[in-house]
Amino acid sequence: MDYETILYEVSEDRVATITINRPQALNSFNQKMMDEFKDAWHQIGYDDSVNAVVLRAAAGRAFCTGVDVKEGYDYSSQTIPWIRRDPSEWLGPKQNRLWKPVICAIHGMAAGGAFYWINECDVVICSEDAQFFDPHVSFGMTAACEPIGLSRRIPLGEVMRITLMGNDERVGADTALRIGLVSEVVANDELWNRAHELAAIIAAKPTAATQGSVRAIWESLDMGLRAAQNWAMPYTQLGNPAGAIDRTKIPKVKPSIR
């Protein structure tokens, strides 16, 4: 697949890698990137050669600084604010009903709209130079979509602090690990390799089982606990028979301790 704002490749270990590729604009997104991500998530969902995904960004100062303020995105047909669509409908894997596991590798600045991806990825890791922040309120803009999604990942107090401090505070890698925003911090030059390593380990497992697990857990976030537990049982019955494999052929991987 040929795109203008992202790079896409699939390796033999069933891992697809998407690279946000607008380093000249701090990897900010525009309407073109939104359209391309929507297409990429759809293609990955139906590609049987892909079992897991790595999402990363071209090297430079930023993973993503949100929407490109110079270009923005298409509001031309949305003159009334109540019908304007959230960019996460294009950018987020879960909004596009992709249930294949996505590992997100963050470096440098991850600001504002970058949380559209962070909020919907299954495993998020970062390099030592990562900085997370949301500048909306510093520019007189209400922060709503990104922090609401973030509130499903980290404690509410941390969400409020990130939101209200705006451009005046950055969450560094160590703090991101402490509050559960990321699950691992690695050296800057190890980030891409580590993300691919995690994705390859997951991709080697039966995809019916991993996709079913991802879908069951994410959909449960919209339910109360008892309803979610009741809803979960059919998933276990669907996933297990479809994922049955010869256990003697499972690749042997020595478990790592973090």
> Taking the model in full, what pTM does it have?
0.89
Residues 122 and 153 in one domain: yes
On average, the pLDDT of the chain sits at 90
Residue 56 lies in a domain: yes
Contact predicate 120/95, CB 8 Å = yes
Residues 187 and 215 in one domain: no
Cα–Cα distances in angstroms (integers) from residue 114 to residues 25, 133, 138, 237, 243, in the given order: 13, 9, 17, 36, 34
Domain count across the chain: 2
Q: Are strands 15-20 and 52-57 parallel, antiparallel or unpaired?
A: parallel
pLDDT digits 0-9 by tens, 50-67: 999 999 999 999 999 999
Residue 255 lies in a domain: no
Name the domain boundary from 187, 203, 219.
203
Contact predicate 253/137, CB 8 Å = no
Residues 228 and 139 in one domain: no
Residues 190 and 239 in one domain: no
Provide the pLDDT for residue 229.
81
Residue 236 lies in a domain: yes
Contact predicate 98/54, CB 8 Å = no
Residues 25 and 62 in one domain: yes
| Domain containing residue 102 | 6-203
3-class SS at 89?
A: helix
Residues 178 and 237 in one domain: no
Provide the pLDDT for residue 209.
92
